[in-house]
Amino acid sequence: MRSISRFTLPLVAALSLTCPATAQEDNSVPWAGLKDIHLNVIPRTGAERDRIAKVTAPPTDFSAPWTFEENSGGAQTVRARQTADAFSQPAANLSFEQELDFKVGNGMFKRLWVSPPASTIASDGLGPLYNARSCQRCHLKDGRGHPPEGSEDSAVSMFLRVSIPASDSAEIETYIAGTHPTAPDPTYGTQIQDFSLPGHAPEARMQITYDEFEVPLSGGEHATLRQPTYKATDLGYGPLHPGAMLSPRVAPQMIGMGLLESIPAQDILAWADPQDTDGDGISGSPQIVLSDVYDRPMLGRFGHKAGNPTILEQTASAFAGDIGISNPIHTAGAGECTDAQTDCTAALHGGNPKQDGLEIDQTGLDLVTFYSRTLGVPARRNVDDPQVLHGREVFFETGCVACHRANYVTHRLEQGNPASFQLIWPYTDLLLHDMGPGLADNRPEGRASGREWRTAPLWGIGLTETVSGHSYFLHDGRARSLLEAILWHGGEAQTARDTVVNMPPDDRTALIRYLESL
C-alpha cells in the first residue's frame, strides 16, 4: 500500500516533480510539466508544428475523402480483412526482427496458464482466483468482450471492479491531488474473480438483469434500450463491505495501443477544459495516475477510466488481476488475493527461481507488451461512398468530434520505433467526460468520478461484429448497436445525442454508415 504522505501537493505542483524535458515544450497549456514515457523524443521544429497543425485542422470540405484518411494507423495500417483475424495482424511497418517478437508475444498472449505445481514451468502459476486463463480468453481475436447471454454463457470477457470509499488517508491507494479517496474492498480487493482452482471458492458470480424501454426518434422511428442492474451473488468469502461500489467492465479491443501511447501528452492536454471555459458544454479532464514503473504522475490513457498510463502497466495489471500471474510490477504469487483470503495467499504458486521467483519475468512481460503495442489498425472502408461522406459531415456538425477527436501526429521517436511520427485517426481525445446518470457506474477511479469515462477510440469499430461476432458496445456491452450506444450518451454529450434523436432519419442512417466505415 502506498503512503499518502509522499505527495500532498496541488496537481500542477505535483506534476512539476517529473523528469527534465527532452523535447521542446509548449508551456501555454495546462499541466505543461507532465511528461510522456518516451525519453528519446526528437523535438519538433516550428515549421514541423505548423505542418502538424495544418494536417490535423478540422475539415471544411466534406465532398471527398481527406488525404490519408483511409490509413487510420498511419504506416501501421493493415488491409481490412473481412475475417475474425482483422484485429490480429502485425503493424505493417514492423521490421523482420520486430515481427518475430510480435509472433512470440502473440504466443504468450494466447498461452493457457495452468495451476501449480506443473511440469510446464513456462505456463505455471494460474490463480488461485482468476477471471480467465489467458489474455486471449478476454480479448478474443484481440476484439472487445461482451456480457454473458443467457444462463449458460460465461462472463469470461467481462468482470466487476470493486472499491470502497476511503475514510482514512492511510487507506487511499494513490496520492495524486484531485483523486477520489477509495480503497480496495477488504475481502475482495479491486475486482471480483469468478473462477478458481480446485479447493478454492470463486469470489462471486456476476448476475445481470435488464429492464427495456423505448426511445422515440424522428420520422416515426424508435429504438429499444436495455438498462442493466448488476449484482455479485454466491459470494465465496463472506459479505462485501457495506460501502462496496461495483462497476462492470468488458474487455476493450486491442488495436492501435502503441500509437495511442505515442501521442504527445501535451497534444491531449491541450484539449482539456475542466471548467468549460469556452462554454461549449464539453469539459474533458485528464486522468492523472502514479506510474508504478516511472514512479511519477503521468497521464492515464488505458482502461475504461484511463487508469493506467502505459501499455506495460496495463499488461502487468491484467496478468495479476485477471489471471493471477505474478510479474515484475505486481509480485504477489497469489495474484489479487487479499489478506482475508488466507487459503488463497497460502496456496502454492508457480514462481520460478530462474525468473526471479515470478510466474512471468520481465522478458515475457515485455514480449506481451510489444505484441499489444504493435497490433495493426485496419484500413478504413468505403471512404468515398456518398452516404459515408455525408455521415462524416453529420458526425462533425453534430459535435461528436468534440470528444472523439479525429486525428493526431505521434511523437518523432528513436529510429526503428514503428509508432514514430505517424498521422493517425483514432477518434478519441483520451480525456475523461461526464456521460450523465444513465451511464454512471457511481464508482470513482483515480480522478474520474462515478459519472466519468475515458472517450473510447472509434477506429475499427465497424469491424466489431466481423471480429467478435457481436455488436455490443460501451463499457458494459449494454448497447446492442451503434445507435443504441449513441442514445445512451448523456451529460456532456446530451446535446449531441438529442441532435441525433431529432435529425432527419436519412442523416441518422448516414451517421451510422460512417461509423461502420471506421
Q: What is the pTM of this model?
A: 0.92
pLDDT digits (tens, 9 = 90+) for 106-148: 999 999 999 988 777 778 899 999 999 999 999 999 999 999 8
Q: To the nearest whole percent, how much of the chain has pLDDT over 70?
A: 90
Q: What is the pLDDT of residue 285?
A: 95
Q: Nearest-CA neighbor of 288 among 423, 274, 276?
A: 274
Give the residue-averaged pLDDT of 354-374.
94
Q: Which grid cell sits at 366?
A: 515485455
Q: Nearest-CA neighbor of 322 among 187, 181, 125, 147?
A: 125
Q: In terms of DSSP bridges, do strands 191-192 and 195-196 run parallel, antiparallel, or are they unpaired?
A: unpaired
Count other C-beta atoms under 10 Å from residue 237's C-beta.
20
In a domain, 4, yes or no: no
Handedness of CA 301, 302, 306, 307 (dihedral sign): negative
The stretches of 175-305 forming alpha helices (DSSP H) are 257-261, 265-269
Handedness of CA 392, 412, 307, 252 (dihedral sign): positive
* pLDDT tier for residue 8 given thresholds of 50, 70 and 90: very low
Q: What is the pLDDT of residue 175?
A: 61
CA angle 336–341–344, rounded 5-degree value: 70
- Contact yes or no for 161/190 (Cβ under 8 A): yes
In a domain, 6, yes or no: no
Please, which residues bridge with residue 297 across strands?
290
Q: What is the pLDDT of residue 26?
A: 37
Q: Nearest-CA neighbor of 210 among 127, 148, 145?
A: 148
What is the domain range of residue 217?
A: 11-57+65-517
For residue 196, the surrounding DSSP H or E stretch is: strand 195-196
pLDDT digits (tens, 9 = 90+) for 173-191: 556 778 888 999 999 999 9
Query: CA 93, CA 77: separation in Å to the nearest integer?
Result: 8
The pLDDT of residue 346 is above 50: yes
Q: What is the pLDDT of residue 151?
A: 61
In a domain, 216, yes or no: yes
Supply the mean pLDDT for the chain: 90
- Contact yes or no for 182/172 (Cβ under 8 A): yes
- Contact yes or no for 140/157 (Cβ under 8 A): yes
Query: CA 179, CA 182: separation in Å to the nearest integer?
Result: 9
The pLDDT of residue 307 is above 90: yes
The pLDDT of residue 27 is above 60: no
Give the residue-averaged pLDDT of 229-247.
97
In a domain, 86, yes or no: yes
Residue type, 351: G
CA angle 406–411–413, rounded 5-degree value: 145
165 vs 27, higher pLDDT: 165
In a domain, 469, yes or no: yes
Domains identified in the chain, total number: 1
The residue written with cell numbers 480467465 in the block is 132
Please, which residues bridge with residue 214 across strands?
224
Q: What is the pLDDT of residue 351?
A: 85
Q: Which residues contact 156 (CB under 8 A, 6 or more apart)?
A: 131, 132, 137, 138, 145, 195
The pLDDT of residue 13 is above 50: no
Q: What is the pLDDT of residue 12?
A: 29
Q: What is the pLDDT of residue 6?
A: 24
Q: Which grid cell sits at 31?
A: 499541466
Count other C-beta atoms under 10 Å from residue 416's C-beta.
10
Give the residue-averaged pLDDT of 48-57.
94
Q: Which grid cell sits at 350?
A: 508457480
In a domain, 296, yes or no: yes
Query: CA 447, CA 440: separation in Å to the nearest integer?
Result: 15
- Contact yes or no for 323/139 (Cβ under 8 A): no
- Contact yes or no for 149/210 (Cβ under 8 A): no
Give the residue-averaged pLDDT of 482-511.
98
In a domain, 176, yes or no: yes
- Contact yes or no for 429/458 (Cβ under 8 A): no
Look up residue 19 and give its DSSP letter.
Answer: P
Query: CA 15, CA 35: separation in Å to the nearest integer?
Result: 8
Q: Nearest-CA neighbor of 37 among 293, 402, 360?
A: 293
- Contact yes or no for 348/294 (Cβ under 8 A): no
Q: What is the pLDDT of residue 59?
A: 85
Q: What is the pLDDT of residue 441?
A: 97
The pLDDT of residue 153 is above 70: no
Q: Nearest-CA neighbor of 442 among 451, 434, 454?
A: 451
Query: CA 281, CA 344: separation in Å to the nearest integer?
Result: 48
Interhelix angle for 505-517 vs 386-398, to 10°?
100
Query: What is the 3-state secondary structure of 435-471?
Result: CCCCCCCCCCECCECCCEEECCCCCCHHHHHHHHCCC
